[in-house]
């Protein structure tokens, strides 16, 4: 330190600050002592701490050198005066002639006119400004970079004191966006409608660092070296992991992690922060704070994305440093949770405590991904592609998620909260009005009956048949119970589960779809490496035909469960007749086996195929002779028709299921099924959207299967629809050269009073 009056080393100063902060006495008293210590230790005549209060105001909380009467009186808005500029830019400022700086504002109550030089640093925590630490001197002195570093290190320790809630209340600590702006709205893509209000919970919570000040620098450097080696080893092991080919996106992230992890600049800065007196974990946090604060204001998207990578990496390194055992026990979940994640796997969502979950916000993701399907099944409002959400929302922030309009309101004001509360109440009333049509048939105004079924995959879904007045379960995704377990369920376990489902469903039919894992549906206990293109890889029936024991066990379980009942089932991802025949043979073998063993048999057996692969459309004549029914899986079919990954957020809006190409394929399928007298249904997500469902009914579908939460509105749509003009209109527009006919159909619905 170049300050001539400095009597102690920076590390001693840091240790003393730490001791005072951790010592006895009221928060304000300790802060008063801390500013005196810093002033003395840094050779400054003035040391002041400004703390950010609600409304983005920086209040002078303690000072050594300025007039004490100004404490709690002097207040500056973020952006106002030099202190405000430091907070707004989240960057240090060192000026030898502060009073001539254009941003300088004079506050007479402070008596600061006699001090010419000023150096201030933001007090940052998690990349957010909690306040500003300032030192001033009478002379026009130049502060050197080393002094700025020292001030930043002390500011980091101060941040913990501010965040501890002793100086200002917890309510005020709730951060506002990035630098200054309260409240904030983030636009996002709609994944599942509905509104949810609650407090932000990060799906993978950050580790809190509790030990900040180093006792022994060498030891901290050694700890850092060891943790970096551990982390490299762990990253290399992950990269070598063959299953990683499953998710090329993850691989890309890990590869860029490794590059950053080896970046000498990053590690060098962490090393310097240790030299400043911090523990290794606090040093990682400090460097990360600086980076977040700087890069959060950069408009370059690539650089902003890197902030997340760095964040994740810093968290990994901190975890290696503190060790899993020492990690803070997870804090209790709030009553109302809004779950925030970059992306989520279906199992992660299923494992979450649903009784508290009000909404989900993903920074990435796609509406067709399985996690979104599960959110729809559970009727949890969900938005995705919420750019920057992870950098702008902190654990505990109040949030409103509007799945209808695709927005996230961060830290909304009281009025906004009230109006959303009203709106949620209105939705509940609307739901109640759907309940009024619950026991009425889904029949158009001109008397055409449409069967409305639910898609299910969890036991808790089944009561929805009765609650929504659906006709049955059109798709039971058997893989979902597999996904939440830690091992492969045996025949008995599966049979018990299927039996329970049938028991619960009573006389309503349930169509079980055999296991469809692979793609984004990964079983935690099973290496099902599917190559670089998992949706088109080793999944569903392909796995079952290559590993027959899986399918045979499942078929055995289904037969056992349906003894004395009707067995209705279908095979997913059938691409050719031969595959269906092979799967069907296995079923027949299992039926024979059971019969020979004298086991009670199903009353009837009804077997279908899912039409999800375009090749099957061209084999329909042969297929329709074999199957009892066909179910169109439009999620997969549309992704394969357009060669457009259903899980890729960049492509989420590129193609529309209600487009001429899809409508023509669907209409061809319906025509052939009708001609062959084979029932056909559609169980993809589009069936649950009233406008899309209207198009499907217009094309001739008389069976739809959808998330339970959609049944009421689709039924209401059907009951308000007169089919004959729609069918004629659809025939006219199916040749349109448009990207989508959604707008045309919406206009039709509005003109004809259809409730969409
Ligand atoms: C589909 O592909 O439309 C379908 C219903 O199956 P899943 O979404 O489970 O792949
Ligand atoms: Mg599918």
For 383-416, letters b (16+ CB in 10 Å) and e give: bbbbbbbbbbbbebbbbbbbbeebbbbbbbeeee
683 is catalytic: yes
**Cα of 94 to ligand 2 centre, how many Å?**
60
Distance CA 435, CA 558 (A): 33
- Exposed/middle/buried for residue 42 (C-beta within 10 Å: 0-12, 13-18, 19+): buried
- Cβ of 684 closer than 6 Å to ligand 1, yes or no, is yes
Q: Is 519 in the pocket of ligand 1 (CB under 6 A)?
A: no
Measured CA to CA in angstroms, residue 355 lies from 352, 359, 599 at distances of 9, 11, 41
pLDDT for 28 equals: 93
Rounded-to-integer distance, Cα 569 and Cα 354, Å: 29
* Arithmetic mean of pLDDT over the chain: 86
Could you tell me which residues are beta bridge partners of residue 408? 186, 401
- Best probe residue, ligand 1, of 612, 637, 666, 682 (max atoms within 8 Å of C-beta): 612
* Average pLDDT rounded to a whole number, residues 495-513: 95
pLDDT at 255: 64
pLDDT exceeds cutoff 80 at 483: no
Give 196 or 246, the one with higher predicted confidence: 196
User: Under a CB-based contact definition with an 8 Å cutoff, are residues 518 and 536 in contact?
Assistant: no
Mutate to test the pocket of ligand 1, among 366, 456, 477, 705 (most ligand atoms within 8 A of CB): 477
Does the CB atom of residue 612 touch ligand 1 within 6 A?
yes
For 719-750, what is each residue's pLDDT tens digit? 999 999 999 999 888 888 999 999 999 999 99
Instruction: Mark whether 317 and 337 lie in a shared domain.
Output: no
CA of 380 to the centre of ligand 1 (A): 19
Compute, in angstroms, the gap from residue 376 CA to the centroid of ligand 2.
15
Closest CA to 748 of 681, 673, 697, 703: 697
* Dihedral sign from CA coordinates of 555, 560, 561, 565: positive
pLDDT band at 296; cut points 50, 70, 90: low
Q: Which residues contact 96 (CB under 8 A, 6 or more apart)?
A: 116, 117, 140, 141, 142, 143
- Candidate ranges 74-78, 509-513, 727-731; pick with highest mean pLDDT: 509-513
CATH of the domain at 405: 3.50.30.10
Structural domain includes residue 327: no
Contact 715, 469 (CB under 8 A): yes
Tell me the percentage of the chain whose pLDDT exceeds 90: 53
DSSP lists the bridge partners of residue 195 as 402
Q: Which residues contact 559 (CB under 8 A, 6 or more apart)?
A: 567, 590, 591, 594, 599, 601, 602
Please work out whether the CB of residue 516 comes within 6 Å of at least one atom of ligand 1: yes
Determine whether 439 is exposed, middle or buried from the number of CB atoms within 10 Å of its CB (0-12, 13-18, 19+): exposed
Distance 612 CA to ligand 1 centre (A): 8
Are 457 and 417 found together in one domain? no
Strand order across the 46-53 sheet: 75-77, 57-64, 46-53, 128-137, 117-125, 93-95
284 vs 209: CA distance, rounded Å:
10
- 179 located within any domain: no
CATH number of residue 290's parent domain: 1.10.274.10
With vertex at residue 48, the alpha carbon angle to CA 269 and CA 101, rounded to the nearest 5 degrees, is 80
pLDDT-based confidence at residue 22 (cuts at 50, 70, 90):
confident
The whole-number pLDDT of residue 110 equals 94
Mean pLDDT of all residues in 33-58: 92
Q: Are residues 269 and 148 in the same domain?
A: no
User: How do 473-477 and 451-456 pair as beta strands?
Assistant: parallel
CATH of the domain at 546: 3.20.20.60
290 in ligand 1 pocket by Cβ < 6 Å? no
Query: Which is the catalytic residue, given 47, 544, 673, 683?
Result: 683
Among 233-237, 685-689, 709-713, the range with the most confident prediction by mean pLDDT is 685-689
Within 10 angstroms of residue 355's Cβ, the number of other Cβ atoms is: 8
Q: Look at ligand 1, atom 10, and give the residue with the nearest C-alpha.
A: 636
| Average of per-residue pLDDT across 38-64 | 92
Ligand 1 pocket mutation, candidates 684, 688, 707, 710, criterion most atoms within 8 A of CB: 684
Ligand 1 pocket test: which of 516, 521, 687 has the largest number of ligand atoms within 8 Å of its C-beta?
A: 516
Q: Identify whether residues 155 and 224 lie together within a single domain.
A: no
Residue of 192, 206, 320, 370 marked active site: 370
**Separation of CA 540 and ligand 1 centre (Å):** 11
Determine which of 116-125, 432-441, 555-564, 613-622 has the lowest per-residue pLDDT on average: 432-441
352 in any annotated domain? yes
3-state SS, 545-594, equals: HHCHHHHHHHHHHHHHHCECCEEEEEECCCCCHHHHHHHHHHHHHHHHHH
Last residue of a domain, one of 296, 322, 348: 322
Do both 298 and 188 map to the same domain?
Answer: no
Q: Which helix (H) or strand (E) holds 483?
A: helix 479-483
The vertex-240 CA angle with 235 and 246, nearest 5°, equals 100
Note the pLDDT tens digit of each residue in 222-245: 999 999 888 888 777 766 654 444
- Measured in degrees and rounded to the nearest 5, phi and psi for residue 724 equal -60, -45
pLDDT in tens, 335-348: 999 999 887 777 67
CA of 107 to the centre of ligand 2 (A): 67
pLDDT of res. 56: 77
Burial of 39 (0-12, 13-18, 19+ CB in 10 A): buried
Q: What is the pLDDT of residues 598-609, one digit of tens each?
A: 999 999 999 999
Question: Residue of the nearest CA to atom 1 in ligand 1?
Answer: 633
Output the pLDDT for position 82.
95
In short, whether 277's Cβ falls inside 6 Å of ligand 1 is: no
Relative to the CA of 685, which ligand 1 atom is closest?
A: 3
Ligand nearest to the CA of 371: 1
In a domain, 345, yes or no: yes
Residue 717 confidence (pLDDT) above 90: yes
Check if 478 has its Cβ closer than 6 Å to any atom of ligand 1.
no
Q: Is the CB of 635 under 6 A from ligand 1?
A: yes
Out of 434, 451, 474, a domain closes at 434
Q: What is the largest CA-CA distance in the chain?
A: 102
Q: Which of 322, 352, 367 is the last residue of a domain?
A: 322
> Does residue 540 form part of some domain?
yes
Residues 228 and 296 in one domain: yes
- For 545-589, the pLDDT digits (tens) are 988 999 999 999 999 999 999 999 999 999 999 999 999 999 999
The CATH number of residue 101's host domain is 3.30.450.40
**Alpha helices by DSSP H, 410-478:** 414-437, 463-468
Distance 516 CA to ligand 1 centre (A): 9
Question: For residue 311, is pLDDT > 90?
Answer: no
Full residue range of the structural domain in which residue 103 is found? 10-173
Number of domains in the chain: 4
pLDDT at 474: 98
Which is more confidently placed, 412 or 141? 141
Nearest-Å Rg of the Cα atoms of the chain is: 31
Please tell me whether residues 428 and 447 are part of one structural domain: no
The CB of 636 under 6 Å from ligand 1? The reply is yes
Backbone angles phi, psi at 704, to 5 degrees: -130, 150
Whether residue 268 sits in one domain with residue 167: no
Tokens 């949890």, residue located: 380
Distance between Cα 683 and ligand 2 center (Å): 9
Choose which residue among 454, 482, 636 to substitute to test ligand 1 binding: the one with the highest number of ligand atoms within 8 A of its C-beta: 636
- CA of 520, nearest ligand number: 1
Residues 287 and 423 in one domain: no
Element (H, E) at 542: helix 541-546
Q: Are residues 693 and 553 in the same domain?
A: yes
The answer to whether 154 touches 38, Cβ cutoff 8 Å, is yes
Ligand 1 close to Cβ of residue 520 (< 6 A): no
Check residue 168 and give its pLDDT.
Answer: 77
Of ligand 1's listed atoms, the one at least distance from the Cα of 370 is 8
Report if residue 121 sits inside a domain: yes
Q: Note the pLDDT of residue 248.
A: 42
Residue with CA nearest ligand 1 atom 3:
633
Tell me, yes or no, whether 370 and 453 share the same domain. no
Residue 5 lies in a domain: no
Ligand 1: distance of its center to the CA of 637 in Å? Answer: 8
- Out of 182-186, 435-439, 721-725, least confident range: 182-186
| DSSP β-ladder status, 398-402 and 382-384 | unpaired
Q: What is the pLDDT at residue 236? A: 76
Question: What protein residues have CB closer than 5 angstroms to ion ligand 2?
Answer: 612, 633, 636
Judge if the beta carbon of residue 479 lies within 6 A of ligand 1: no
What are the tens digits of pLDDT across the range 610-655?
999 999 999 999 999 999 999 999 999 999 999 998 877 678 788 9
The phi and psi torsions of 63 (rounded to 5 degrees) equal: -150, 145
Residue 1 lies in a domain: no
How far apart are the C-alpha atoms of 555 and 557, rounded to whole Å?
5
Average pLDDT over residues 511-538: 76
Weakest mean pLDDT among 1-15, 241-255, 392-406, 616-630:
241-255
Please say whether the beta carbons of 44 and 94 come within 8 A: no
In this predicted structure, what is the pLDDT of residue 231?
A: 81
Q: Are residues 58 and 196 in the same domain?
A: no
User: Catalytic annotation on 370?
Assistant: yes
Pick the residue with more confidence: 291 or 325? 291
pTM over 0.85: no
Residue 245: the pLDDT is 45
- Calculate how far, in angstroms, residue 580's C-alpha sits from the geometric centre of ligand 1: 17
For ligand 1, atom 9, the nearest C-alpha belongs to 477
Per-residue confidence (pLDDT) for residue 554, from 0 to 100: 97
């Amino acid at each position: 330190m170049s300050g001539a009056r400095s009597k102690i080393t920076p590390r001693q100063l840091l240790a003393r600050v730490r001791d005072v902060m951790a010592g006895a006495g009221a928060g304000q008293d300790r802060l008063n002592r801390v500013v005196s210590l810093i002033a003395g230790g840094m050779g400054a005549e003035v040391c002041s701490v400004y703390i950010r209060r609600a409304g983005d105001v920086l209040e002078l909380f303690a000072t050594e050198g300025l007039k004490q009467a100004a404490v709690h009186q002097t207040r500056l808005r973020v952006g106002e005066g030099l202190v405000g500029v430091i907070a707004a830019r989240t960057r240090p400022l060192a000026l030898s002639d502060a009073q001539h700086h254009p941003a300088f504002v004079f506050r007479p109550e402070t008596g600061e006119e006699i001090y010419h030089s000023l150096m201030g640093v933001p007090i940052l925590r998690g990349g957010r400004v909690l306040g500003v630490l300032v030192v001033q001197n009478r002379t026009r002195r130049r502060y050197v970079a080393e002094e700025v570093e020292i001030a930043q290190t002390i500011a980091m320790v101060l941040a913990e004191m501010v965040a501890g809630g002793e100086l200002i209340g917890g309510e005020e600590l709730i951060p506002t966006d990035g630098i200054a702006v309260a409240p904030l709205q983030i636009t996002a893509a709609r994944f599942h409608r509905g509104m949810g209000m609650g407090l932000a919970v990060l799906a993978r919570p950050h580790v809190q660092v509790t030990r900040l000040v180093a006792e022994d620098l060498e030891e901290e450097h050694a700890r850092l070296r060891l943790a970096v080696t551990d982390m490299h080893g762990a990253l290399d092991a992950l990269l070598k992991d063959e299953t990683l080919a499953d998710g090329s996106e993850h691989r890309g992230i890990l590869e860029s992690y490794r590059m950053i992890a080896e970046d000498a600049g990053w590690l060098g800065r962490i090393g310097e922060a240790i030299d400043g007196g911090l523990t290794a974990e606090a040093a990682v946090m400090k460097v990360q704070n600086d980076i977040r604060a700087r890069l959060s204001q950069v408009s370059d998207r690539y650089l902003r994305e890197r902030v997340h990578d760095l964040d994740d990496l810093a968290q990994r390194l901190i975890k290696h440093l503190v060790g899993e055992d020492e990690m803070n026990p997870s804090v209790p979940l709030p009553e109302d949770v809004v779950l925030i994640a970059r992306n989520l796997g279906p199992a992660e969502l299923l494992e979450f405590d649903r009784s508290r979950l009000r909404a989900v916000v993903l920074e990435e993701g796609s509406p067709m991904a399985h996690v979104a399907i599960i959110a729809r099944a559970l009727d949890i409002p969900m938005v995705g592609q919420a750019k920057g959400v992870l950098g702008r929302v902190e654990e505990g922030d109040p949030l409103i998620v509007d799945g209808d309009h695709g927005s996230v309101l961060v830290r909304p004001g009281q009025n906004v909260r009230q109006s959303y509360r009203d709106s949620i109440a209105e939705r509940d009333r609307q739901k109640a009005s759907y309940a009024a049509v619950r026991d009425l048939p889904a029949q158009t105004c001109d008397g055409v009956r449409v069967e409305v079924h639910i898609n299910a995959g969890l036991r808790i879904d089944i009561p929805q048949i009765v609650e929504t007045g659906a006709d049955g379960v059109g798709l039971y995704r058997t893989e979902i119970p597999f996904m939440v377990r830690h091992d492969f369920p045996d025949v008995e376990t599966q049979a018990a589960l299927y039996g329970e489902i049938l028991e619960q469903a009573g006389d309503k039919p349930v169509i079980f779809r055999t296991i469809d894992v692979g793609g984004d549906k990964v079983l935690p206990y099973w290496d099902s490496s599917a190559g670089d293109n998992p949706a088109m890889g080793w999944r569903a029936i392909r796995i079952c035909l290559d590993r027959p024991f899986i399918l045979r066990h499942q078929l055995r379980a289904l037969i056992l469960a349906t003894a004395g009942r009707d067995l209705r089932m279908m095979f997913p991802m059938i691409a050719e007749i031969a595959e269906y025949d092979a799967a069907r043979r296995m079923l027949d073998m299992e039926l024979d086996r059971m019969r020979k063993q004298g086991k009670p048999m199903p009353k009837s057996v009804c077997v279908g195929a899912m039409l999800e692969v375009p090749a099957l459309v061209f084999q329909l004549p042969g297929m329709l002779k074999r199957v009892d029914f066909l179910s169109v899986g439009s999620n997969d079919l549309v992704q394969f028709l357009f060669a457009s990954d259903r899980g890729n957020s960049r492509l989420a809006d590129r193609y529309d299921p209600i487009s001429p190409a899809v409508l023509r394929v669907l209409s061809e399928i319906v025509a052939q099924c009708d001609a062959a007298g084979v029932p056909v249904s559609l169980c993809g997500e589009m069936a649950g959207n009233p406008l899309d469902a209207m198009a499907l009914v217009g094309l001739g579908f008389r069976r739809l299967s959808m998330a339970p939460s959609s049944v009421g509105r689709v039924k209401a749509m059907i009951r308000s629809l007169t089919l004959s003009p729609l069918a004629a209109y659809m025939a006219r527009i199916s040749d349109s050269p448009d990207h989508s006919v959604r707008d045309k159909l919406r206009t039709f619905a509005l003109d004809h009073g259809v409730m969409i």
